[in-house]
Structure 1
Amino acid sequence: MEKKFRKDQWKMLFVTMFCYLFFYTGRHNFGWAASGIAKEFNISFQQVGWISFAMLMGYAIGQLINGNLADRLSPKMMIITGGGVSILCNLAISFASSYTVILVLWTLNGYFQSMAWGSGGKLISNWWNSSERGKAFGFYTMAAGSSTVLTFFMALILVQQEQSWRSLFRYPILLLAAALLVFLTVAYSDPKRKGYMIGDEEGESVAKQENWKQSYQKVFQNRNFMIASFAIGFQSMARYGLIFWVPIHFLGNNYKASSGNMWLTLLIPIGMALGAVSFGYISDFIFNKNRSKSICTGMIISCIIAILIYCVPIHNHLLIGILMFSSGFFVYGPQANFWTLSPDLLGTKLVGTGIGIMNMFAYVFAAIGEPLFGRLIDFTGNTANIFLFVALICAICATIISFVKIKKPTVNQQIDHSLSSTHSNYPDSQFLENQYKH
């Protein structure tokens, strides 16, 4: 029975990863469509930035609401609902005839996309205890980074085939639809729904007793968690500066003459995917589970890399390729450490609320950054300046996260935690006895 539970643990992690692997096909496709939208509707890059701002704000507001809902409702059904409506929004945008329609639909898409991340984190927390949660969240974050790789790859193919920008909102999301069907069939929100008599009974009872206001108060009153939330805001701003604006930088005025440059952009999300899973281990083995030091180090390195990208000529493909990969690795990798701060600082009963609020900060800051990046390009006429802006943002993030302090448990607390983790990871003896009787 222990082997069966262990197998189901990994199955739930992998099916959640598989589903989220395709979620960005309905969100990170916009950066590749931006130039076509700007040209067809005769709008500036700052106006394009406001469309991205609206989506990110919709996502941020959704995180504030849906993270708490994930603690109370079925995480599985929230992921299914959010993904399904996001597909409809993308399809509607592909037939849009005005700037305003795209702005409204992309905002709604942001809200419904937000129903997935916190819910997936809640599902994983239900299946994995604290001793292995860092590893589990590292894999989960890797799926998000890999989703960007997949989206960039499909977008590059469509752009090189001279497809309309509208095709970017039609074809990639077909994969999301298939992934949602698999997730609906395989996933279970928690072990009890699959027949395992385990779980955080105390946490569940407390969560039911607390109302929305009490849950939010506990999170917002946690000083260290709030500092970390401000830090992830700048990390996310730097991340979206790369994801959204770097394709525009490499596309240039004539993508046919710079096809090699276009494919270099794929190295950013590849670096992000590998960085996400790597930083889970980096924080554990190099920084002894000190998440703030791990994040700080990653963002300082990101700052240096962004400055180097600005200085290196764009035609030096080898060096630029190495720097693109490295920027993705170190900008996005630390995000895996941010998510583990939610259960570390708040406990398991508020994981959904905590991740939702932290992600809200991440996307509010990212949203604010989008029109700023666009304005910078319009004002200077040089897309390379985005890397100097990214470097500044990374430096700010590294400074803020250094103020997060996590109290180390006493010896007795570590022993109690170890015992409770061992118990919560597998079905209890009475359950095993009943299973064998049947």
Structure 2
Amino acid sequence: MCRYNFRFATPGMVEEFGFSTFQITGMLSAWSIAYGTGQLVNGLLTDRIGGKIAMLIGATGTIAINLIFGFASFAGTFTTFAVIWLMNGYLQSFGAPGMIKMNAAWFRRTERGTFAGIFGFMIQMGQFAINNLAPVILAGFTVGVWVVAKGDWHYLFRIPPLIVAAAAVLLAIFVKNTPEEAGYQGLIEPGNGTADTSSRASIRESFITIFTHPLIWFYAVAYACTGAVRNSSDQLMILYFHDQLKLNMADKPAAVLWTVNLMPLVAVLGSFGAGIVSDKFFNGHRSPVAMTLYFVECAVILTAAVVISTGVVGPTPIGIFIGCLFLVLVALTANSTHAIVGAAAPMDIGGRKMAGFAAGVIDSFQYYGTALALPFTGWMIDRHGWGVWYPIMASFGAIGGVSMLLVMRKQRRLQMAGDVRAVAR
């Protein structure tokens, strides 16, 4: 909620401060660089301090930063907003490694693909919540003497942090890092051929194991492509609705509400589906499912690009329907790869000891990919219009598919050589 609120604020920020699409994507790029780097640093830190503490640090930090962003209009410069959002990126980067670290201890390897679906569901629940809350905030409301004016985007950063605060309290009270902490001794085998149920590794062991793993860099490149597509479609769609389809968020248009709620719904279905298929039909192999999804994603986006090039997508009923439909299909494919590549694969590679760092390494590339792709996309849109958006995303889908094909080939060679690291697949 305290990440995807930004996209609903972009039309208001453009109107109030005159920011270009390139500047908006520049702020998102700053967030992505900080988030990606934070994944590396905080993934390693999470393996030392535990997932629960990491998540509490992230929750507390993003609450504070969102409130600052909501009251930062007195400055009103690109640099001010970019720096604040950069700080939010770093603090939010405690979340994913913390979640993955804890669940590597709670789930067996053949269950982790399904957990990846739960992980994707968690993210999409935040999207669903802000997708429905943001239009209400932008439409304006009155509660007693408290009046929120129509179109006041600042409250998008003032109200959601209150909900995050409530979730953080529940996390602090109820969540346990491992089954052992909850009183369930020996519930989950470590999965590394030993009886060691500890959840910590030395820094040296983490670096050597993760950075020298023969599969991790292929996953990292693929995940960079996931980030380039997923975050581009997620973060720019409100500007797309406003600029291309001429829809005003403050009017709560039905097409937008349906689309922004269908996108997380199909994302959840895709995440669960991809995870279950990789667990049940491919015996925990992630790469065949991910490769298929990347190439399907590329085909869907290329089809969308061809249709959009005909001029049919625009501020007409059929044009709005088609434009929204393609965004839903992109969400389905992009979030399916997001779950199994970003959540299941790191747990397979790092195990319960190093899942946080493995997740940090792989997930960081999702946001480095975003940081490179978004400013370029914004720059191209400013100069050539929204027609270039889909072809740019399609190129990343193709690269992701090739990366997963290389993972499959590398994994087969490892199996033939008897390398135990082939278990992470």
TM tier, smaller: 0.7 to 0.9
CA contact (8 A) 1:250 1:261 kept: no
Q: How far off its partner does 1:135 sit?
A: 1.4
Taking the TM superposition and a 5 Å limit, the aligned residue runs for 1:135-150 are 135-150=114-129
More deviation, 141-150/122-131: 141-150
Taking the TM superposition and a 5 Å limit, the aligned residue runs for 1:6-405 are 25-96=1-72, 97-99=75-77, 100-161=79-140, 162-198=150-186, 200=190, 203=196, 207-208=200-201, 210=202, 212-252=203-243, 254-256=246-248, 259-263=253-257, 264-310=259-305, 311-312=307-308, 313-314=312-313, 315=316, 316=318, 317-338=320-341, 339-380=343-384, 382-405=385-408
C-alpha distance in structure 2 between counterparts of 1:279 and 1:327, whole Å: 15
Listed as ranges, the gaps of 5+ residues in structure 1 are 1-24, 418-438
C-alpha distance in structure 1 between counterparts of 2:211 and 2:198, whole Å: 21
User: For each residue in 1:41-97, what CA deviation from the matched residue of structure 2 results, as whole angstroms up to 9, or x when unmatched?
Assistant: 222221111111111111111100111111111211111111111011000011112
Change over 3 Å in CA distance of 1:128–1:298 after alignment to 2? same
Q: How far off its partner does 1:287 sit?
A: 4.3
**How many pairs are equivalent?**
387
CA-atom RMSD in angstroms: 2.6
Matched letter for residue 352 of structure 1? G
TM-score normalised by L of structure 2: 0.84
CA contact (8 A) 1:93 1:101 kept: no
Secondary structure at 2:159 match in 1: coil
Listed as ranges, the gaps of 5+ residues in structure 2 are 141-149
User: For each residue in 1:222-261, what CA deviation from the matched residue of structure 2 results, as whole angstroms up to 9, or x when unmatched?
Assistant: 1211111111111111001100112111122753489244
Matched letter for residue 232 of structure 1? Y
CA contact (8 A) 1:246 1:265 kept: no
TM-score normalised by L of structure 1: 0.82
C-alpha distance in structure 2 between counterparts of 1:159 and 1:390, whole Å: 29
Matched letter for residue 98 of structure 1? G
Secondary structure at 1:191 match in 2: coil
CA contact (8 A) 1:251 1:258 kept: no
Matched letter for residue 184 of structure 2? Y
Matched letter for residue 340 of structure 2? N
CA contact (8 A) 1:296 1:398 kept: yes
Task: Decide which structure has greater helix share.
Answer: 1
Q: How far off its partner does 1:29 sit?
A: 1.2
Q: How far off its partner does 1:202 sit?
A: 5.5
